[in-house]
Amino acid sequence: MLYVSFGMTNNDGRSVGRRTVLKGAGIAGLAGLAGCVGTGDPEPTETTQSGGGSTDSGGSTSTSTPQSQLAGSAEVWGWDVAARAMDLIDDPYEEANGGDVSINQIGRSDLKDRFKSRLLSGTGAPAASMMESVDAASWVDTGGLRDISGWLEDSGIKGDFVEGKWGPLEKDGGTYALPWDIGPVVTFYRRDVLDEYDIDVSSVETWDQYIEEGQKLPDDQYLLNLPSNDYDGLWRMMYRQIGGQPFTANGAVNIASDKSLQVARILKEIRDSGIANDLASWSSGWFTAFGDGTTASLTAGAWMEGTLKAELGDTSGQWGVFKPPAVESGGPRATNWGGSNLTIPAQISDEKAKRAWDFMSYALGREESQLTMYREYGLFPALETTYDSEAYDQPNEFLGGQEAGRIYAEIAPNIEPYRYTVDTPEVTQAINTHFRDMMAGDKTPKEAVDAAAQQVVDRTDRDLA
């Protein structure tokens, strides 16, 4: 059962039909995809389902808790395609395990505000909610989430997930969420445009080479977009790619490092080369430019495939993907952008929490469930045991018949871990502020990263690395 609330227009969680849900999947709600949006393999194992004692070959198990100990119903919050993906799993779960799980779709910003306020107030939270990895440290720090480490250990599924997902979900020996999707980064490109100007992405290894190829384009044609509202996303994606960490292991601010400076210089080089426009991310103009091909490529998490399909369906077959350019020759080409999890508030009764865990482990810990959500909505699983699946080898019509899923699966296990903290939002703000000055020519790349680091230090009382 899926309830829908789009932003502020429907906050009462009223029930709507599936047709309404699909009709509502417009641009207005797509900003939320960035979190799924928005970021790494053993054979399936026979599994015993909880309650009903059924077995399946879908992968890992839900709990072994008897049905009599589970609440009869539970509400789960999510946004956009993630909520609709959970709704795909809802009916099979209820058929196999009983109970009544309702999926409440809420706009991304609204969900975050409402969920965090209810964690802090200690009342009114749903049985479970979607949580982006970028928010995990700050939400765990509220003390309002339930430690699921016992159930996780009993289920035996922890080792089935990409190792790098766990860091932000853990604190002081506890685990506070179950990983869902990750965003292995690729560069989506318009085949028709790049073919017209004789740009061969198979020959591109580094950003320097990609910038050079972009010089083949005429003045009114851009290779890519550098949005001033999302410099931090590009910086984080490239910084992580080369093993950069925004905070050291002892918590010092590390965004003025040599690696960070290297990324800043590349972004400035892209700006100065004239191959990039500067449309705001997720704006109507931004989508229009990809639709008419005046912006010819986009580097983002794998979840972007679902967005492009949904919004630019008439461009099907004209897209392709390749691994993101390396920062330097011979360098890594694996990184992540986005990714979400499911978490249970501490204020929920034990019975509700057990039902929530039962659903979570069924939806996220089983290969069949995760692959269903990948096929339908492009949510690439953090469940590593799926990576040998033939689902990733299927020709992708939207991407010109390319077996794109296999590229995602090759990238995922090689993604470097990344250290999110409660002060990650300060890093986001500082990078965007000072990189805007850099792009305008008011700061050098060195001055920009130094100023950003000092701003975070001043606002958090942390040391400078």
Q: Give tens-digit pLDDT for 420-453.
A: 898 998 999 999 999 999 999 999 999 999 999 9
Own/partner contacts of 391-397, CB < 8 Å, gap of 24 or more, are 396/305, 397/316, 397/317
pLDDT score for 41: 25
Hey, how many other C-beta atoms are within 10 angstroms of the C-beta on 435? 26
Question: Which of 82-86, 147-151, 220-224, 238-242 is least confident?
Answer: 82-86
CB 192 within 8 A of CB 318: yes
Beta-bridged to residue 224, according to DSSP, are: 276
Q: What is the pLDDT of residue 64?
A: 57
What's the rounded Cα separation, in Å, for the pair 74 and 356?
A: 6
Mean pLDDT over the full length of the chain: 86
Per-residue model confidence (pLDDT) at position 109: 87
pLDDT, tens digit (0-9, with 9 covering 90-100), for 36-76: 323 222 222 222 222 222 223 344 444 456 777 899 999 99
**Span 83-89, average pLDDT:** 94
DSSP character for 111?
H
Around 449, how many Cα atoms within 13 Å sit in the side-chain half-sphere? 23
Residue 68: per-residue pLDDT: 76
Q: What is the dihedral of CA 109, 132, 380, 40, to 10 degrees?
A: 160
Residue with the two structure tokens 């004692």: 53
When pLDDT is cut at 50, 70 and 90, the band that residue 303 belongs to is confident
Query: Could you read off the pLDDT of 223-278 as tens digits, one per residue?
Result: 999 998 899 999 999 999 999 999 999 999 999 999 999 999 999 999 999 999 99
- Calculate mean pLDDT across residues 130-149: 93
pLDDT category of residue 382 using cuts at 50, 70 and 90: very high
